Each structure stands twice: as C-alpha cells, then as structure tokens.
C-alpha cells in the first residue's frame, strides 16, 4: 500500500511539473509510448506460435471483451456525434458555429447561476 501511495504522489508531482512544459511532456510521453510498444512487439516475437493472424485474433478478442475495440479505433466523440447526426466541424457553417458558441455561453451562465444558488443554500444550511 505504501508503494502505491509513493508512486501515486510521484506521478502527481511529475505531471504537475511536466504540464508547465507541454512540448517536453509530449516528447517524453511519445518516446515512452513507442518504447512500450517496442517492448511488447519484441516480447511477442520471442513466442514462436504468436504469428500475425494469431496476434490479430487474440487482440481483437481481448479488446472486444474489455470494451476498448470500438472506442480505441473510432473514439467516443465520433460515435456520439454520429448518433446525434451532427456534422463534422469542417462541415459546419459559420452561422452554425456561432449559434453553438452562443448556446454554450448561455449554458455557462446558467451553470454559474446554479453554482451561486447552491453556494447560497450551503451557507444557509451550515451551522454558524
């Protein structure tokens, strides 16, 4: 348990530091991802029966079982926008984008008003 807490705190500190330097963060993350997949690939090459078709079947089965197959290759946003019959961003007209921006601003104002009301209710309910 202590080791998990240690690495959790270490991760928080590293992410906080790297988030101030997005290009360095991107480079380190990219290199780490490539090295991870290189390790997976080289390890798989060491298993004689793990041919291309066998790897494809196993990975497809696992990804389908854990629910990552569609979301990884297509992404949640594409699925949701397709279900809502939304246009792609490049297909939207300036008027549609402006209307969407106005709608988002109105929602933001409504949310801010709700937050203020909740804070007011919280103040009234808290013991003095």
Mean pLDDT of the 93-119 span: 88
pLDDT of residue 122: 87
* pLDDT band at 93; cut points 50, 70, 90: confident
Enumerate the domain spans of the chain: 1-46, 49-86, 91-128
Cα 107 from Cα 3, distance rounded (Å): 43
First to last CA, the chain: 39
What's the pLDDT score for residue 33?
Answer: 92
The predicted model gives 89-111 an average pLDDT of 82
**Local confidence band at 128 (pLDDT 50, 70, 90 cut-offs):** low
Give the pLDDT of residue 95: 79
């Amino acid at each position: 348990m202590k080791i998990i807490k240690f690495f959790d705190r270490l991760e928080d500190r590293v992410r906080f530091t790297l988030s101030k330097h997005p290009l360095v963060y991107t480079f380190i993350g990219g290199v780490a991802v490539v090295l991870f997949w290189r390790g997976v690939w080289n390890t798989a090459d060491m298993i004689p029966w793990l041919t291309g078709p066998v790897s494809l079947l196993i990975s497809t089965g696992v990804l389908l079982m854990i629910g990552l197959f569609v979301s990884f290759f297509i992404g949640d946003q594409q699925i949701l926008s397709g279900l809502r019959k939304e246009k792609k961003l490049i297909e939207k007209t300036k008027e549609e984008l402006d209307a969407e921006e106005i709608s988002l601003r109105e929602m933001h104002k409504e949310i801010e008003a709700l937050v203020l009301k909740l804070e007011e209710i919280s103040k009234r309910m808290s013991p003095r």
